[in-house]
Structure 1
Amino acid sequence: MRENGKVERRTVLKAAGASVAALGLATATGCGGNSGAGNGTVTIRYAWWGADERAKRINQSIKLFEKKYPKIKVKTDFQDYVAFWEKFQTQAAGGNPPDVFQNAVGFLRKYDKRGVLLDLKSQVDAGNLSLDNFREGVTKVGEADGKQLGVPVGSNTMALVIDKKVFDKAGIEPHTGWTWDDYFKALKTIKDKTGIPGDTGYFSIMYLYDLYLRQNGKAFFTKDGLGFDQSDLTEWWTDGYSRVKAGIITDPKRVEQDKPKSSVTAGHGASEFTWDNFTVRYTAEGTSTYGLAPIPTTDGKQTGQYLASLMLSASARTAHPKEVAQFIDFMVHDPEVGKIMGYDRGILASKEQYAAFKPTDEVNKEIAQYEDDTAKAGVLGTITPHPAGADTVESAFLRIGGDMSQGKTKVSDAVKQFFSEAQSAFSA
């Protein structure tokens, strides 16, 4: 769950800034591979990104784990998204990564290439970790090159978040199978009838562009690089820039001014593409009524959607692979953990946890229903494994697309710059 892409990164950073000291969390030091005690107790280090609420839930879950496995102690460390990966890269380069850590698909090949990630299949074969009883297709997200490099804790898929009151006022009702032409016509109608731009800026969201490409027989990434050419991106960004200039897309400068809030909740946009489980932020931030709408299509049928996921990965250098595997297994399968975590990291990945957590609020009910409906529609495909350097490419797509939309660079120059930076990232 990527939590990656424009919306994910902004959302996580918005929620970040949590104080480790305030939560009484022990920040790990030293090499986890040598952690142990004379009484047979071992200590493993667990790191993740997120904010206070996630930290509280995870620490409640760890208490349950340590109660079941009294010989395994867990030291925790967390930061916001950017700080987490800056610290992790330093730790990995120094041969001292955490024993177990939160991960995402964009980093699998990057750190497997550097020998950082443990292939968890050995622990599955040893009986310390189960890949059974997961929702259909979820575990594939953690696979790359025949290895199981991560185990999903939750899943999500791209969706369109809308301000229901604005859409109702404009007389627009999104429906399954609507096309991009339908969507763009709706944006203009919304602007004409309400004065509010219809979308906050779809064109620099890497994961949305991936869906569009998949609808047209391509994909953002291949195993080794980009799955599209400069003419494809020129068309996409030219189209986006023209809609900004026409006023049906929120002025990018306004979007920047609204941060850390979304321009949707600030009342400066009627819709925004994001991951479905992020819907909770809109209700928390805004005063309107927000909901999920279907992804527009090219052919009226295929959306290009797939399940993405946050996952747990392990260090290839850990001295305690069995204990790490037992920890991962507990965190993804234990029903009580499912009740504690809820949809904080996406729709719960394992069937045990999915069945254990029953959302009572309308927002989480709608998120669960959206994923159920999407699965039943038969449109979900398999995520394309990201090549090493994908995380850098994603950041470049967001940054350069933003500069283009503000008129800081011409579309043609922006496209050339992106392809140049992508090639450098893949070659690093």
Structure 2
Amino acid sequence: MKVSRKWVWIVSLMFVFSMVMMGCGSGDKNNGGNTNQPSETAGEGTKAPEDKVSITYSQWGTAEELQRVQELLDQFMAANPNITVKLEGKDWGSYWDGLTANAAGGTLPDVLKTSYAFIEKYAELGIFKELDGLLGSNSFPLADVDPSLLGLHQYQGKQVSMPIDANVIVFYYNKGLFDNPETNPKGAVYPGMEPTWQEVADIATKMTLDANNKNPGEDGFDKGSIKQWGLSLVPGSTMDWFLEPMLWSNGGKLINDDGTLALDTPEAQEVLNYFIDMTKNSNINTTPAQMEGLGGQANLGITTGKVAMNAGGSWNTTHYKEAGITYGITHLPKFKTTQTVVQPAGVAMSASTKHEAAAYKLLSWLAGSDGQTALAKQGFSIPANKQAASAYLETAGSEFQIFLDAQQYGIVSPFTVKKTDLVWTYGEQVMKNPLAGDGDLAAAIADLASKIQ
């Protein structure tokens, strides 16, 4: 019995040896003899996959927007022929519903577009892969992206997404109204590049006219017959992109680190009362009712021909162009420091991707200089990566340099679930009228604070 086992062992060993030798011979004759794809473990995530691999990329957008995304993916695949990327495009609403369902079902895309406003919500679902290790091991040049953008795509101090575009809030004025003596009889000048609120208030006073061309403060001024306003601002309806940076500008905040409302501090109260006075007493800013009569959107006030200045996003330039007006752009007015909001979308990797190397390759291309330059040349988005700045200006025009410059003034105030409820669910209904001087401000703040507890 012992001899029998010994011979079985010897025969088995000879068989294994012969198979190994055959494998070596096959490899010499045909480099493609091994058809098994190598495993893409975390340690290998810094390398591009050697064999062909297919990954998915998902984002929201219109048909036109998704076509531009496909053009970018085609460029990536041309540069990386071993990686095939399948685009999964959806509209805004179904995209986020689908992402939640995919997370529950374990069918997340390998790479996905993210919004700065939903980082916490989806990070808590565990769908994002932490990127710090991959970015570090691949020496991704993080200095090419402004810290204010990177900060909005972090969760608990970890980078979970990389910014790829940089919509920014600035301040616009209607040059036509300023240049026409009939609409500017007092000769008000354009606001400077980093104006103070006092400067803007003085200009707005001169640009506000009643039916008899009188300005606020002049004898006989009739606030009931205003035909032109210096400003259109509705702070209570634009808490996230206008009121919040103005609070920061004065040393205040919209929301505390623990998620509670921060509007009861002296710094915040000074800002709130300033805007109330500007609307209710100085009469240089439209009331919400007046704004509705002009079209309803404060950030498009200058397109009506009845408003001299308004705050708005970089995306508003398309509307101004369509309205046929000539306009100028400055940074948001300041109380103490110049501040703004940057609203960057980003790209993230699924925590459950089975193709880490290929997924990182795509993510780093989209967020890196090559992908960002390709994005800039399309002429529709402001790149988040500074290396693509020249390509953006060549396409969009040198007058849009301010959108790149403004990123340095962006506040780092990531969205939480409470903050989302604050600015998009409760903020407008509670604060819109009180911040125009119509209602009890203290009661409104107390009501808002109770809603987000």
Q: Report the TM-score range of the alignment, normalised by the length of the smaller protein.
A: 0.7 to 0.9
Q: Per-residue CA shift, 1:238-269, capped at 9, x if unaligned?
A: 54345444543234245446257923223343
**Contact 1:238-1:411 within 8 A present in 2 as well:** no
CA shift for structure 1 position 312: 1.3
Structure 1 residue matching 2:335: 3-state secondary structure: coil
Equivalent residue of 1:298, what SS?
coil
- Choose 1 or 2 for highest CA Rg: 2
The equivalent residue for 2:264 is: 230
Which whole-Å CA distance do the structure 2 matches of 1:422 and 1:329 have between them?
A: 37
**Would you say 1:286 and 2:323 are equivalent positions?**
yes
Name the residue aligned to 1:130. 140
**Hey, what does 1:159 align to over in structure 2?**
170
Q: Measured at CA, do residues 57 and 187 of structure 1 come closer, stay the same or move farther in structure 2, by a change above 3 Å?
A: same
The whole-number CA distance in structure 2 between the counterparts of 1:318 and 1:399 is 42
- Of the three residues 37, 42, 45, the one matched with 2:57 is 45
Q: Is 2:339–2:409's contact at 8 Å kept on the other side of the alignment?
A: yes
Aligned counterparts of 1:184 and 1:87: Cα–Cα separation in 2: 47
**SS class of match (2:66):** helix
The 3-state SS of whatever aligns with 1:348 is coil
Deviation at 1:406, TM superposition (A): 7.8
The separation in 2 between residues aligned to 1:419 and 1:342, in whole angstroms, is 45
**Alignment-mate amino acid for residue 105 of structure 1:** Y
Unaligned runs of 5+ in 2: 1-50, 214-225
Of 298, 309, 313, which residue of structure 2 is paired with 1:271?
309
The alpha-carbon deviation at position 311 of structure 1 amounts to 1.4
Task: Report how far residue 148 of structure 1 moved.
Answer: 0.8
Q: Secondary structure at the match of 1:230?
A: coil
Give the match's secondary structure for 1:189. helix
For the structure 1 residues 406 and 181, does the alpha-carbon distance in structure 2 shift closer, same or farther, using more than 3 Å as the test?
closer
Unaligned runs of 5+ in 1: 1-38, 424-428
TM-score for the superposition, normalised by structure 2: 0.70
In structure 2, do the counterparts of structure 1 residues 234 and 136 end up closer, same or farther at CA, with 3 Å as the change threshold? closer
How far 1:173 sits from its partner (Å)?
1.9
Answering whether residue 196 of structure 2 is matched by residue 196 of structure 1, we say no
Cα separation, 1, equivalents of 2:316 and 2:363: 27
Shift in Å, 1:176: 4.1
8 A Cα contact 2:116 2:344, kept in partner? yes
Are residues 1:335 and 2:370 paired? Answer: yes
Deviations 1:116-151 (A, max 9, x none): 222112332453x82446144343442332311111
Match of 2:401 among 364, 368, 393: 368
TM-score w.r.t. the length of structure 1 is 0.74
CA contact (8 A) 2:196 2:335 kept: yes
Q: Structure 1 pair 336/216, CA: closer, same or farther in 2 (3 Å)?
A: closer
Aligned residues: 373
Q: Which residue type is aligned with residue 354 of structure 2?
A: A
Aligned-pair CA distance for 1:306:
6.2
Alpha carbons of structure 1 residues 61 and 145: separation in structure 2 relative to 1, 3 Å: same
- Residues 126 and 391 (structure 1), Cα distance of their counterparts in 2 relative to 1, 3 Å cut: same
- Give me the identity figure in percent: 18
- 1:223–1:116 CA distance, 2 compared to 1 (3 A): farther
Q: How has the CA–CA distance of structure 1 residues 344 and 234 changed in structure 2, closer, same or farther, with 3 Å as cutoff?
A: farther
Which of 327, 341, 349 is the aligned partner of 1:314? 349
Match of 1:389 among 386, 409, 418: 418
Q: Distance in 1 between matches of 2:435 and 2:143?
A: 45
